[in-house]
Amino acid sequence: MSYSEKILSKSVDPATQQMLEFAEKQGLETAWDRYEKMLPQCGFGELGLCCRICNMGPCRISPFEDTGPKKGVCGATADIIVARNLIRMIAGGAAAHSDHGRDLAHTLLLTAQGKSGGYEIKDEVKLAALAKEYGIKTNGRSKEDIALDLAHSVYAEFGKQEGFVQFSRRAPERRVALWKKAGIDPRGIDREIVEIMHRTHIGVDNDPVNLILQGLKASIADGWGGSCIATEISDVLFGTPEPVRSQANLGVLKKDEVNIIAHGHEPVLSEMIVAAARDPRLLDKARAAGAEGINVVGMCCTGNEISMRHGIPIAGNFLQQELAVITGAVEAMIVDVQCIMPALGDLCECFHTKFISTSPKAKFPGAVHMEFNEEKGFDIAMEIVEAAVDNYAMRNPDKVFIPEDKTDCMVGFSTEAIVKALGGTLDPLLDAIKSGAIKGIAGIVGCNNPKIKHDHGHVALVEELIKNNVLIVSTGCNAIACAKAGLMLPEAADQAGDGLKGVCKALGLPPVLHMGSCVDISRILTVCAAVANALGVDISDLPVAGAAPEWMSEKAVSIGAYVVSSGIFTVLGTVPQVLGSPFVTEILTKIANDVVGAAFAVETDPVKGAHLMIAHMDAKRQALGI
């Protein structure tokens, strides 16, 4: 493979290709380099056959018929070990997303008490709607009093020991009845996560089916609980997104401005960074330093959050975080939690970039820690942005290389925005599905993974689906990949099949709808539940499917589990670490259909994956008689 072919094999994104070539010439290491150094990866680990939960091990089970151990020291088989490893990943992912929700609940509480530093309740309509779901009285009460009761009610979801997670009752009654029958209707969010950790301790639950059912239970507590809480409270505090124009890719960095990247997942920090960067005092200081202004851009899910509420440009998705630093034009990389590479510390030392950590939960080697808290949110954000402005003078112009690539996009399709775009009712969408103009709806989500050509899995899958009249709802790194590829513009409807093209042009919508960050997959669940309720069926009866073409994180495992548990067939583009147990593999890809009405499929070819989803939609349409 030639040098140019090697670069092209790593990503379909032109800005990423340029930066990888530039990084190699500068002798700078990226995630792709570290992946190649790791090859060949541990075959036992890839199959999920390693166990380290006690000190009699680590144990590994041989996948070969005639050689190697078939049980761990305690007697655990491949089926037990793979199932335990899988649901521990679900626990980690559910904990991450649900902790995000808990932090938002904490911010709402402080705001209601008048103790937050700069936050306010921006969507009183949604506040009232959520209060109604929780049975909180609103008549004659201030928004602060209502918010205080809502914050306490939401807080209780995490430690609840009995009953059910409130937002799970947005699911169709048939779905809830199915969860109850299978014993996977979650109680409290934290309880289900803790129970996974207990069950997977040595000598506790050693039934693979029972283990996986608990994993599904915790994942439902994530998707319909913690993640849903994060989304809804974000809307109350920061405003429910409506369609807005933005731009995406590394070209959004500006040569003559102070560039600040907000990277991570929680909008509590990034909202204040955006506000501080617009403060006249800091803008004047930036100009006095020779910059034309302050340019805040997003990275990963924080990028999605501030883009859909403020039109802030998105610099890139997960695998572009190092490349953004390598442009030499970034004054500060400000991070909170999740999907932040510890490699950034060493890399930032090669440039003038300040690597600033802010969360007490997440510290990094080489980072300057400026701890953020909601009580002094705006003041701390001012200090952080000022540090970036002061750092502009340290930039070395000779090291600056910014790709020109950037693409316009339309972002911010919350559930409410979609209904509004349809004229205030779901009827036009239902009519389009019934007529066949829209074959079905696909939720495409997830990360990047250097095992797969960067963005190729995302873009190729989505392009094939829209060509076949499938409407796409997208979050996370997939949303950013689609934005960079120009698929989030109304003009992209020209790439769609005639049916979807007609619907998009009539409504002025892109064929790929940006619904937000990873936790906002809860918005997709809400839309699916609303469509199912309107048709009088369960979610599993709908012509819908999900996919994670380039997934890599524990959060993605939890997401996949709750999407399938909600009745949605889901295609994975990278192979999960379960193939060491044919039984567990069968549970996930076949037996799950009998329990929750949906299952996983694994297909590394995105075009073939698209056709698996299309075939599934065709079967569901036929069963519905449409």
Asked if residue 68 belongs to a domain, the reply is: no
Q: Are residues 160 and 87 in the same domain?
A: yes
The domain containing residue 490 runs over which residues? 410-624
Q: Among the three residues 191, 216, 238, which one is the final residue of a domain in this structure?
A: 238
Segment 446-505, tens digit of pLDDT: 999 999 999 999 999 999 999 999 999 999 999 999 999 999 999 999 999 999 999 999
Q: Do 473 and 619 fall within a single domain? A: yes
- Judge whether 301 is annotated as a binding position: yes
Structure tokens at 596: 């929750």
The residues that bridge with 546 in the sheet, in sequence order, are 443, 570
Domain boundary among 238, 271, 289: 238
| Residue 271 sits in the same domain as residue 383 | yes
1 falls within a domain: no
Q: What does the alpha-carbon distance between residue 556 and residue 90 come to, in Å, rounded to a whole number? A: 8
Same structural domain, 193 and 330:
no
Contacts of 89 (CB under 8 A, 6+ apart): 554, 557, 558
Which amino acid, 164? F
Pick from 238, 260, 275: which residue ends a domain?
238
**Is 405 a member of any domain?**
no
Mean per-residue pLDDT over the chain, rounded: 97
Domain assignment of residue 417, yes or no: yes
Sign of CA dihedral 171, 173, 174, 180: positive
Direct distance between the N- and C-terminal alpha carbons of the chain, in angstroms, rounded to an integer:
49
Shared domain for 154 and 195, answered yes or no, is: yes
Tell how many helices (H) and how many strands (E) occur in the chain. 27, 16
454 vs 31: CA distance, rounded Å: 11
Judged by phi (left if over 0) then psi (alpha if -120 to 50, else beta), residue 509 lies in: beta
Q: Is 489 left (phi over 0), alpha (psi -120 to 50) or beta?
A: beta
Residue 300 marked ligand-binding: no
pLDDT band for 354, please (50, 70, 90 cuts).
very high
Q: How many domains does the chain fold into?
A: 4
Indicate whether 232 and 260 sit together in one domain.
Answer: no
Please name the residues in contact with 326: beta carbons below 8 A apart, sequence gap of 6 or more: 19, 22, 23, 26, 28, 30, 347, 351, 401
Q: Which of 589, 595, 563 is nearest to 576 (CA)?
A: 589
Nearest Cα neighbor of 252 from 302, 315, 310 is 315
Look at residue 73 and tell me if it is in a domain.
Answer: no
Q: What is the pLDDT of residues 137-172, one digit of tens each?
A: 999 999 999 999 999 999 999 999 999 999 999 999
Residues 401-439 have pLDDT tens digits of 999 999 999 999 999 999 999 999 999 999 999 999 999
Radius of gyration, CA atoms only, the chain? 24
Q: Of all helices (H) and strands (E), which one includes residue 112?
A: helix 78-112
One-character DSSP codes across 285-352: HHHHTT-S-EEEEEEHHHHHHHHHHH---EEE-GGGHHHHHHTS--SEEEE-SSS--TTHHHHHTTSS
- What is the pLDDT averaged over residues 220-241? 98
pLDDT in tens, 505-528: 999 999 999 999 999 999 999 999
Q: 515 in helix, strand or coil?
A: strand
User: Residue 244 falls within a domain, yes or no?
Assistant: no
CA dihedral for 466, 470, 471, 477, sign (positive or negative): negative
Q: What pLDDT is stored for residue 541 in this prediction?
A: 98
Q: What is the pLDDT of residues 303-324, one digit of tens each?
A: 999 999 999 999 999 999 999 9
Question: Is residue 72 domain-resident?
Answer: no
Q: Is residue 213 part of a domain?
A: yes
Residues 64-99: tens digit of each pLDDT: 877 888 999 999 999 999 999 999 999 999 999 999
Q: Is the pLDDT of residue 4 over 90?
A: no
Query: How far is it, in rounded angstroms, from Cα 563 to Cα 115?
Result: 37
Residues 224 and 264 in one domain: no
Q: Is 228 annotated as a binding residue?
A: no
504 annotated as a binding-site residue: no
Give the alpha-carbon dihedral of 386, 387, 389, 392, to 10 degrees: 170
Provide the CB-side half-sphere exposure for 161 (13 A, CA). Answer: 0
Residues 393 and 512 occupy one common structural domain: no
**DSSP string over 165-209:** -GGGGGS-HHHHHHHHHHT---S-HHHHHHHHHHHTSTTS---HH
β-bridge partners, 355:
333
Specify whether the CB–CB gap between 428 and 507 falls below 8 A.
yes
**Residue 96 and residue 28 share a domain:** no
For position 541, which CATH number holds? 3.40.50.2030
Same structural domain for residues 224 and 271? no
Domain harbouring 187, CATH code: 1.20.1270.30
- Rounded Cα distance between 585 and 452, Å, is 22
Are both 276 and 371 inside the same structural domain? yes
* 559, 431: one domain: yes
244, two tokens: 């807005």
Closest CA to 64 of 585, 586, 580: 580
Whether 152 has a binding-site annotation, put simply, is no
Is 482 one of the annotated binding-site residues?
A: no
| 528 belongs to an annotated ligand binding site | no
